[in-house]
Amino acid sequence: MQMMSIASGSSGNCIYIGSEETHILIDAGIAAKRIESGLNDIGLKLEDIHALFVTHEHSDHIAGLGVLSRRHGIPVYTARETITELKKMKTLGAVPPEVYHDVQADEEVQVGDLTVHPFAISHDAARPLAYRVSCGEKSVGVVTDLGYYSDYIVENMKGMQAVLLESNHDINMLQTGPYPYYLKRRIMGDHGHLSNESAGRLLCEVLHDQMKYIMLGHLSKENNYDELAYETVRLEITMGDTPYQGSDFPIAVARRDTPSALLTI
């Protein structure tokens, strides 16, 4: 299995996951041209993509959806409630209704040799989902845009060999930063975004010897920066109640403007 972040951050998200024969995207929150160019870097084209799974209807997750579905005929999988929201959006252009396929939390979908397992997250959207994607014994996850994590989230993330996890903001930068009060409350709230500290603590609950790669993603442009997210998460792992040190796992920060390395597990 392989995974690559094509873009990750408050300005747009698109993650590639694939096996030898099946290729999918999680979210399409950047222009189709940028998605295509990211795929070209690993020898793929948009025509090779079998399905697009959408986490939720915020624009940083769907901006390229119109072109991908209309021009390239890529089927779109997401929650029924999210489809209802997407159909109301004029910015997407005319999307043929038959491209949409609804999925439900805790119900697996098979796409080629990939098994996609959606699970519910808490965020200010109609029916936000995170995804675990498995191929045989291997599995990876994309878990972003969640206000907090519960035992349910932890259970759904156990045993993954690679994960792209939200590490959205530094709490101090957010609190002292320029955002208006209501926005600070929204981001820190139960339906907002995961802080660096929370990401580190969540990782402590799901780390295991077979975890090969951790990618921190969906970083806020204003309230975080790469080194801070990286160091905070590493420290949480080292200080956490686990046998591990932060240095035991390769941790990368997914960039907003350039694709990550292609991870192979």
Q: Shortest distance, CB of residue 190 to Zn ion, whole angstroms?
A: 14
Tell me: does residue 58 bind Zn ion (CB under 5 A).
yes
Radius of gyration, alpha carbons of the chain: 17
Structural element, H or E, at residue 208? none
CB-based contact 224:167 (threshold 8 Å): yes
Choices 59-67, 89-97, 104-112, 166-174; region in contact with Zn ion by CB under 5 A: 59-67
| Residue 60 binding Zn ion, by CB under 5 A | yes
Q: How far is the CB of 57 from Zn ion (least distance, A)?
A: 8
Is residue 27 within the footprint of Zn ion (CB under 5 A)? no
Q: How far is the CB of 11 from Zn ion (least distance, A)?
A: 9
Give the separation between CA 29 and CA 93, rounded to whole angstroms.
15
Count of residues engaged in binding Zn ion, rule: CB under 5 A: 3
Beta carbon of residue 89, minimum distance to Zn ion (angstroms, whole number): 14
- In terms of CB distance, is 18 or 147 closer to Zn ion? 147
Stretch that binds Zn ion, among 15-23, 79-87, 98-106, 142-150 (CB under 5 A): 142-150
Q: What sign for the dihedral angle of Cα 41, 42, 47, 49?
A: negative
145 lines the binding site for Zn ion (CB under 5 A): yes
Could you give the C-alpha distances from 241 to 39, 86, 200, 249, in angstroms and in order?
39, 42, 12, 16
Q: How far is the CB of 73 from Zn ion (least distance, A)?
A: 25
Which residue lies nearer to Zn ion by CB, 57 or 170?
A: 57
CB of 110 to Zn ion, least distance (A): 27
CA 94 – CA 164 distance, rounded (Å): 31
Cβ neighbours, 10 Å, residue 91 = 9
Pick 128 or 246: Cβ nearer Zn ion: 128
For 47, the 3-state DSSP assignment is: helix
Nearest to 61 by CA among 18, 17, 92, 102: 92
Q: Is 34 in the site for Zn ion (CB under 5 A)?
A: no
- List interacting residues with Zn ion (CB under 5 A): 58, 60, 145
